[in-house]
Amino acid sequence: MSVEHPDQRTVEQLLGREPESSQPAPHDPGDGSLIDDPALEAPLVLGGRSLHEVTEIVCGYAERPAPKWWLPALLVSASVAGLGTMMILYLIITGVGVWGLNNQVNWAWDITNFVFWIGIGHAGTLISAILCLFKQKWRTAVNRSAEAMTIFAVTCAGIYPAIHVGRIWFIWMVFPIPNANAIWPNFRSPLLWDVFAVSTYATVSTLFWYMGMLPDFATLRDRADRRLRRAMASGGARSLPDTLRAYIYGVFALGWRFSNRHWHRYEVAYLILAGISTPLVLSVHSIVSFDFATSVVPGWHTTIFPPYFVAGAIFGGFAMVLLLLIPARELLPNFKDLLTLRHIENMAKILLVTGMMVGFAYAMEFFVAWYGANEFEFYVFMFNRAVPDWLHESGAPYWWAYWTMIFCNVVSPQVFWFRRCRQDVRIVWGVALLVTIGMWFERFVIIVTSLHRGWLPAQWHMFYPTIVDILTFVGTFGIFMTLFLLFLKFLPIFPMAEIKAVMPQADPHPDPEEAPAMAGARGDDPEAAGGAAPAPAPAHPEEGR
Amino acid sequence: MLFPKWVNTVPTVLAMGGGGGALMTVAMVWYFFTPKFWVMGYMPEQPGAGFNHQIHAGKLGMDCRYCHTHIEESPEANIPHVSVCYGCHAEGRLNPRSYNADRVEFVRTAYENDEPIQWRRVHKLPDYVRNFPHHVHLQAGVSCYSCHGQIVGMPVVYQAESLSMGWCLECHRAPEDHLVPPDKVTELTWVESELSERRSMNRRERRVHTSDLIAALREAPPENCGACHH
């Protein structure tokens, strides 16, 4: 036979007649995680880290002194958060008149910010729930911080609907509480569905986040406890931080002892919560979109809103994940070993996909407005949004907001068609920033440009934000960043057990040639046996990729 | 061991305490945070010897409208001018017999000085429902009894019902529980026996029983916010 059968070589290899993988590894420009060969699994943890080293890295963020930039950053964020809180107090004391709302534009930055923040949370739920069910192993590096971000974003989002009612002391009326007035919320109103959607979302996300942290809290507790014991054994004093750690993490660990029974129930509970959260990824923002879609305001009354909002939420959420994690990756030691370029690239791809989804939705809105032959709807899309006022006498003064949105959300992610752009963290960060800006403008465009022109020209009013509007919005960023910085310092920012389970050491039957990432592995972690099975001794410890 | 063994009981205690506390809070709010608790039974002391509804409207059988003259055409249930009292209680007329003849002295004093008697209001509605139209309710056939209780049995008037919004809505949603023929709204003893008889019927029977009255209504009892809160 002159031509070798394609499988011949495999057969030879299996019979041991020919050495395996004589193919050289493909050229890889990045950190080693950007392998293009489908036959090779890209390492999810770099640097040939052992299980123990992963524990050291992750616990180190919570145990070692914070980096120099942390305290100043926290002070700045907390000051901004305090400023925002003062604005909120001012609003409550004085009334909603301190915002720039008017009779025509009765929803503006308040609801814009609400939808913006609630959308941001969606990436965390998607990563923790849907990617879990689809067994996407790369989620382990980002899920903890993305879930944290979800909760902090929902916290920020929840502020706005509460304060925009004006009489905040009546906010309990949004819940169906039996009362002597026999008043119930309107069960046919999407605003009430919103209350349920968002509160369910906040509850489930918090449970998911907290439950995932249990084993890691236990690890932190055990490490602090062991240090205390050592200090006592050598006759030294108990250090106060370690005592606090042991007890505080200990309380939050809820008595986790790494027993098999614990792990079994943990896995089951995790799957159940993933199952509950999965519909939430789709339902929450669908219901938020009903706030608009079920009204009869031209520009809001469209059936495309639910999927379009969900895609936009995931889009904006991943942008925020990248916006936060890329700097964290640079600033925190060894972060890059756990969050590789491949993770960034994957998220950039999601940005590209969801960015095109929202782009499609923007286009369909115009198509339906034209095809539906509703002149008012068409007018809103054409003249309230797209056509600049310097181009047409009916043109919109808000054209710049619309085109900012188009540029940021549709045009800018297109750079991710190019591998070089997906793999360059600076470009990814820049696009993520643009997308975050664009997604804020999307909500602003939907809300304000639809409202600002009523049916009669006498009802046409512009919206101008007041300083209170602006500082409240900036203030919620302060709240968000404060919470995130505290998270970076005090909580396990990676799910150690889950990361260990996707490391090569966790494979009970490793191919000795294919397990180079185990180089330097020194066996299992003594005080925190993660989810990983005991690893066999690496075949070639000195080999690394 | 980092935590002593008794810590194991903490979750149980917390769950039970938290659950019990939550239950207690709900129960307390349910019971105490209502007009039913706060204002039902309110019985202010009236000036002078007061006005004994039990004697006047009960024993003597005076019609409510003898004093509250405008209730059929006015939203306000008017409190009579002192001259109405004086019409009977002038010097030498209809004195309460023997033992305490000066009980009504305050009426005469007020009349002579041309001063109103400072009666104290018993039934108060919040400002945002101050326009409660008595005439509309009377014309529809809602008896005084339904809101004010058995006045003819009260020596001193007190608030018999909670007057909460939920209480208003109960009747607006089920007018068959309270409607009586409009010409009988002030016959409180008759109304009491009629309504207590009605309680032994089921809802459908009550509907049938009051079908003429309900059909005679100019509109169904409104349940929209604007009906009461302008």
Give the domain extent around A346: 295-462
For residue B133, tell me if it sits in a domain: yes
Which of A229-238, A467-476, B6-15 shows the lowest per-residue confidence on average (mean pLDDT)?
A229-238
A432 and A497 housed in the same domain: no
Work out the minimum CA distance from B1 to partner chain A, whole angstroms.
Answer: 9
Which of residues 142 through 201 in chain B touch A, CB cutoff 8 A?
162, 164-167, 169-170
In this prediction, residues A272-286 reach a mean pLDDT of 90
For residue B145, tell me if it sits in a domain: yes
Q: How many other CB atoms are found less than 10 A from the CB of residue A48?
A: 21
Say whether A182 and B170 touch across the interface (CB within 8 A).
Answer: yes
For residue A228, pLDDT over 80 is answered with yes
Q: Which residues of B touch A221 (CB under 8 A)?
A: 2
For residue A539, tell me if it sits in a domain: no
A453 and A359 housed in the same domain: yes
Q: Model confidence at A541, in pLDDT bands (50, 70, 90)?
A: very low
Reported as a single tens digit per residue, the pLDDT across A368-391 is 999 998 999 999 999 999 999 888
A150 and A270 housed in the same domain: yes
Say whether A181 and B36 touch across the interface (CB within 8 A).
Answer: no
For residue B13, tell me if it sits in a domain: no
Mean pLDDT of chain A: 86
For residue A1, pLDDT over 90 is answered with no
CB contact at 8 A, A123 and A314: yes
For residue B137, tell me if it sits in a domain: yes
Which residue of chain B comes nearest to A228, CA vs CA?
A: B2
For residue A180, tell me if it sits in a domain: yes
Q: Model confidence at A530, in pLDDT bands (50, 70, 90)?
A: very low
Q: Looking at the partner chain, which of A180, A221, A225 has a beta carbon nearest the beta carbon of B166? A: A180
Predicted pLDDT of residue B226: 87
Say whether A225 and B3 touch across the interface (CB within 8 A).
Answer: no
State how far the Cα of A289 lies from the Cα of A364, in Å rounded to an integer.
16
Say whether B164 and A180 touch across the interface (CB within 8 A).
Answer: yes
A259 and A362 housed in the same domain: no
For residue A87, tell me if it sits in a domain: yes
Predicted pLDDT of residue A18: 64
Q: Which residues of B touch A179 (CB under 8 A)?
A: 166
A331 and A382 housed in the same domain: yes
Distances (CA, A) of B63 to A372, B55, B58: 68, 12, 9
Q: Model confidence at B94, in pLDDT bands (50, 70, 90)?
A: low
For residue B7, tell me if it sits in a domain: no
Reported as a single tens digit per residue, the pLDDT across B106-120 is 888 999 999 999 999
**Residues A188-194: contacts with CB under 8 Å, at least 24 apart:** A190/A287, A190/A290, A190/A291, A190/A293, A190/A294, A191/A291, A193/A287, A193/A290, A194/A161, A194/A287, A194/A288, A194/A290, A194/A291
For residue B46, tell me if it sits in a domain: no
Question: Of A462, A478, A513, which closes a domain?
Answer: A462
Say whether A255 and B35 touch across the interface (CB within 8 A).
Answer: no
Total number of domains constituting chain B: 1
In this prediction, residues B168-189 reach a mean pLDDT of 93
A290 and A143 housed in the same domain: yes
CB of A221 less than 8 A from some CB of B: yes
Say whether A250 and B3 touch across the interface (CB within 8 A).
Answer: yes
Task: Say what percent of chain B tops pLDDT 90.
Answer: 65
Say whether B35 and A180 touch across the interface (CB within 8 A).
Answer: yes
Q: Which residues of B touch A246 (CB under 8 A)?
A: 2
Q: Model confidence at B100, in pLDDT bands (50, 70, 90)?
A: low
Best mutation site among A179, A189, A248 for testing chain B: the one with the most B CBs within 10 Å? A179
Total number of domains constituting chain A: 2
For residue A473, pLDDT over 90 is answered with yes
Say whether A246 and B36 touch across the interface (CB within 8 A).
Answer: no
Predicted pLDDT of residue A6: 59
For residue B104, pLDDT over 70 is answered with yes
Where do runs of H (alpha helix) occur along chain B?
9-32, 35-38, 53, 64-67, 82-89, 105-112, 134-140, 144-148, 165-173, 188-198, 203-209, 211-215, 225-228
Say whether A181 and B166 touch across the interface (CB within 8 A).
Answer: yes
Q: Which residues of A touch B40 (CB under 8 A)?
A: none
In this predicted complex, what is the ipTM? 0.73
Q: Which residues of A touch B169 (CB under 8 A)?
A: 182
Predicted pLDDT of residue A126: 85
Distances (CA, A) of A219 to A14, A243, A336: 42, 14, 22
CB contact at 8 A, A238 and A225: no
Q: Model confidence at A159, in pLDDT bands (50, 70, 90)?
A: very high
A493 and A362 housed in the same domain: no
Which residue of chain A comes nearest to B165, CA vs CA?
A: A181
Predicted pLDDT of residue A39: 77
Q: Looking at the partner chain, which of A178, A181, A221 has a beta carbon nearest the beta carbon of B164? A: A181
CB contact at 8 A, A126 and A156: no
In this prediction, residues B143-170 reach a mean pLDDT of 93
Say whether A225 and B2 touch across the interface (CB within 8 A).
Answer: yes
A340 and A415 housed in the same domain: yes
Predicted pLDDT of residue B229: 87
CB of B9 less than 8 A from some CB of A: no
Query: CA A302, A304, A305, A311: dihedral to nearest 10 degrees?
Result: -160
For residue A358, pLDDT over 80 is answered with yes
Tell me if residue B179 falls in helix, strand or coil. strand
In this prediction, residues A45-58 reach a mean pLDDT of 86
Which of residues 28 through 47 in chain B touch A, CB cutoff 8 A?
30, 33-36
Say whether A182 and B169 touch across the interface (CB within 8 A).
Answer: yes
CB of A181 less than 8 A from some CB of B: yes
For residue A123, tell me if it sits in a domain: no
Q: Nearest CA to A300 among A360, A356, A381? A: A381
A213 and A65 housed in the same domain: yes
Q: Model confidence at A531, in pLDDT bands (50, 70, 90)?
A: very low
Work out the minimum CA distance from A530 to partner chain B, whole angstroms.
Answer: 20
A177 and A260 housed in the same domain: yes
A318 and A229 housed in the same domain: no
A404 and A474 housed in the same domain: no
Q: Which residues of B touch A250 (CB under 8 A)?
A: 2-3
Task: Say what percent of chain B tops pLDDT 70.
Answer: 96
Say whether A180 and B170 touch across the interface (CB within 8 A).
Answer: no
Q: Which residues of A touch B36 (CB under 8 A)?
A: 180
Say whether A182 and B36 touch across the interface (CB within 8 A).
Answer: no
Best mutation site among B1, B2, B14 for testing chain A: the one with the most A CBs within 10 Å? B2
Say whether B165 and A181 touch across the interface (CB within 8 A).
Answer: yes
Tokens found for residue A393: 């006498």
Say whether B34 and A180 touch across the interface (CB within 8 A).
Answer: yes
Say whether A182 and B30 touch across the interface (CB within 8 A).
Answer: no
For residue B35, tell me if it sits in a domain: no
Give the domain extent around B160: 53-79+119-228
Work out the minimum CA distance from A228 to partner chain B, whole angstroms.
Answer: 10
| Burial readout A116-134 (b: 16 or more C-beta within 10 A, e: otherwise) | bbbbbbbbbbbbbbbbbee
Q: Nearest CA to A506 among A526, A522, A527, A530? A: A530
Work out the minimum CA distance from B162 to partner chain A, whole angstroms.
Answer: 9
For residue B125, tell me if it sits in a domain: yes
For residue A30, tell me if it sits in a domain: no
Work out the minimum CA distance from A59 to partner chain B, whole angstroms.
Answer: 19
